Structure 1
Amino acid sequence: MGLGPGDPSLLPPLARDALSRAQAIVGYGTYLDLVPAELLVGKTIVETPMRQERARAEAAVDHARHGTATAVVSSGDAGIYGMAGLILETMERRGCHAQIPWEVIPGIPALAAAAARLGAPLTHDFAVISLSDLLTPEATIRRRLLAAAQADFVTVLYNPCSTRRTTLLPEALRILAAHRPPTTPVGFVRNAYRQGETIWTTTIAKATAHGVDMRTIVLVGSSSSRLVGRHVLTPRGYYPATPSDNNPGTFDKNPVDTGAEAL
C-alpha cells in the first residue's frame, strides 16, 4: 500500500483501514515512521534496511503464506517506484500468486504532492524518470532523458541525487536544457508535506544540484510552462497562447541557499 507523502491527513482511508486490520506490517524504517503510531500497536513489525527490498518482499510473502494478514508499506504510491511490483514478482517466482489473495492500495504519489506544492505544472503530458542507477543502467537513463527532452514533456525526476551519485542530475538538466527555452521553470520540492519541507524554483538556465537529495522531487517544465506569480503553470490549451513573464517567481517556503529564486 501507498502511505502518501507523509502527512497523516493524506493517508488514504483504504490504507488506514487495511493497516488497522493487518496482523503484520512490513517496510523500510523511514516508511514505517510514516504510519500513525496507533496503527502499529499489537502488530508484528518487520523492518529491513534500505536496499533490502527483496528480503522485505520475501518476509511479507512468508507471513502471508502462513495466513497472516500482512501490509507492505511504501511512501507515496506503492505502484510508482514502490513495492507493488516486487511483491507480485516474488509471488510469481514462488508460484503462489494465485493462492494468496492480495491487492494494491493506491496512495498519493510524490510527484502529485510536489506538483500540488508548485501549482499546476502537470496539467499536460509529462514523463517521470528516476535517476537512480542501482537497477537501471546510466545509458538507459540518458536515453529516456533525451526522449523526454525531444518530445517536450514536462519531466519529473525522482531520486535525483544521493551521497554517492551527484553528477547525473546536472547532466539531466543539461540534456533537458538543450531542448527548452532558457526561461523554462524548474521546481524543487524536498520533503513534500513533511517536516522540513523546502520548495524553490529557478530557470533551466540557472538550475543546479545544490540542496538536492533523495527526498527531493525535481520538476522541469516543457517549452510552454511558465510562472504565474509564485506558481508553475503548464497550460492545457484552453486559452490561446499569450506572451508570458516566464521568469522565476518568489515563493518563500523554507528556501535553501541555492542561488536560485525561492518558491
Structure 2
Amino acid sequence: MCGNLYVVGLGPGSEAMLTGQARAALAAVDVICGYTVYVDLVKPLYPDKETYTTPMRGETERCRWALETAAGGKQVALVCSGDAGVYGMASPVLELAKDYPQVPIEVIPGVTAALSGAAVLGAPLGHDFCVLSLSDLLTPWTLIEKRLQCAVAGDFALCLYNPASHRRKDHLQRAVDLLLAAGKSPQTPCATVRNIARPGQEAQFYTLETLRQAPVDMFTTVFIGSSTTRQERSWLITPRGYHSV
C-alpha cells in the first residue's frame, strides 16, 4: 500500500510561521526529507522522525527519493522554505509524478518570502506587484532582463529573490542598472530584508540609485517600489488607492 507524499512549505523558518496545515502534515509522516538547511529547521520539532537530506542542487534526486519512498508505503513530507509552489519543490515533484501515478500527492502552502518580508516593511506590495528571481541557474539572464523591463513598463512594485550568491555577486547591480535605463525613477523607495523571521533579521532602506551598493546574499529579499510607493518611518507603503474612491 502506498503512502502519501506531502510537499510542505515551511515559510521563512520560524516555528511561529509554520501553518497549522504544515504542522499537521509533519506530525503525521514517517519521514521528512529536503535540503539539509530546511530539514534542520524543523528537525528539533520532530526529533523522532526519520530524515533524508541532500545538498543544494540535489533537487531531482530528492524529489524522486520522496516519491519512491512514498510508493514503498511510508508517509513522506518533502519540505522547502517559503511556499512549496513558489520557487519550491511542488513543481519538480509534480513533473516526476507521472512515473508514480499510484502515489497521492498533496501540496501544503507556506508563507513565501515576498509576504513575510513585506510584513516586516509594512505594505510594499499593497497593490499589483511582480516577484522575480535574479538567479540565472535555471533561467537565462536575457529572459530575466526582459521580465524586469516589462515590470517597469507596467509600473509594478517588485520583489526580487536570489539577488546574489557566491557565484553571482553583481546580479542586483545589473538589475538596478537595467531598471534605471528602462525609466524607473532613481528616487524609487526600496528596501532589503535579510534572515526573515530568523535570528539576525535586519531591514535596510534605500532609493533605487543607492540600492546598487546594498550588501545582499542568498538570505536577502529585495523590495522595489512602484511610482506610488513611499517610505514613512520604518515602513514602505504602496497605496491600494482607497483614498481616491
Instruction: Answer yes or no: same fold by TM over 0.5.
Output: yes
Task: Report deviation, 1:40.
Answer: 3.5
Task: Report deviation, 1:208.
Answer: 2.1
Measure, in 2, the Cα distance between the counterparts of 1:54 and 1:133: 18
Q: Is the 1:131–1:168 contact (alpha carbons within 8 Å) kept by the matching residues of 2? A: yes
**Aligned residue number for residue 149 of structure 2:** 146
**Aligned residue number for residue 5 of structure 2:** none
1:226 aligns with 2:230: yes
2:243 aligned counterpart, secondary structure: coil
**Aligned residue number for residue 35 of structure 1:** 42
**Aligned residue number for residue 167 of structure 2:** 164
Measure, in 1, the Cα distance between the counterparts of 2:71 and 2:238: 47
1:208 aligns with 2:212: yes
**Aligned residue number for residue 195 of structure 1:** 199
Structure 2 length-normalised TM: 0.93
Give the ranges of 4+ consecutive aligned residues of structure 1 lying more than 6 Å apart after TM superposition. Answer: none
Q: Is the 1:8–1:36 contact (alpha carbons within 8 Å) kept by the matching residues of 2? A: no
Write the deviation string for residues 46-78 of structure 1: whole angstroms up to 9, x where unpaired.
100001101100110110110110000011111
RMSD: 1.3
Could you tell which deviates more after superposition, 121-130 or 200-209?
Answer: 200-209
2:106 aligned counterpart, secondary structure: coil
- Pick the structure with more helix per residue: 2
1:122 aligns with 2:125: yes
- Pick the structure with more strand per residue: 2
Going from structure 1 to structure 2, the CA distance change for 1:71 and 1:193 (only over 3 Å counts) comes to same
**Aligned residue number for residue 255 of structure 1:** none
1:129 aligned counterpart, secondary structure: strand
2:199 aligned counterpart, secondary structure: coil
Task: Report deviation, 1:181.
Answer: 2.2
**Aligned residue number for residue 111 of structure 1:** 114
1:47 aligned counterpart, secondary structure: strand
**Aligned equivalent of 1:16, options 20, 23, 27:** 23
1:52 aligns with 2:55: no
Measure, in 2, the Cα distance between the counterparts of 1:206 and 1:156: 17
Task: Report deviation, 1:36.
Answer: 4.9
Structure 1 length-normalised TM: 0.87
- The code of the aligned residue for 1:32 comes to V
**Aligned residue number for residue 14 of structure 2:** 7
The gaps in structure 2 that reach 5 residues or longer are: 1-7
Task: Report deviation, 1:196.
Answer: 1.3
Write the deviation string for residues 145-188 of structure 1: whole angstroms up to 9, x where unpaired.
11111111101100000111122211111222342222211110
The gaps in structure 1 that reach 5 residues or longer are: 242-263
Percent of aligned positions that are identical: 45
Going from structure 1 to structure 2, the CA distance change for 1:40 and 1:190 (only over 3 Å counts) comes to same
Write the deviation string for residues 3-59 of structure 1: whole angstroms up to 9, x where unpaired.
111110111111111111110111001101211513141x22110000110110011
- The code of the aligned residue for 2:146 comes to R
**How many aligned residue pairs are there?**
237
1:69 aligns with 2:69: no
- The code of the aligned residue for 1:139 comes to T
Higher relative contact order (CA 8 A, sep 6+): 2
Measure, in 2, the Cα distance between the counterparts of 1:37 and 1:238: 45
Measure, in 1, the Cα distance between the counterparts of 2:39 and 2:213: 29
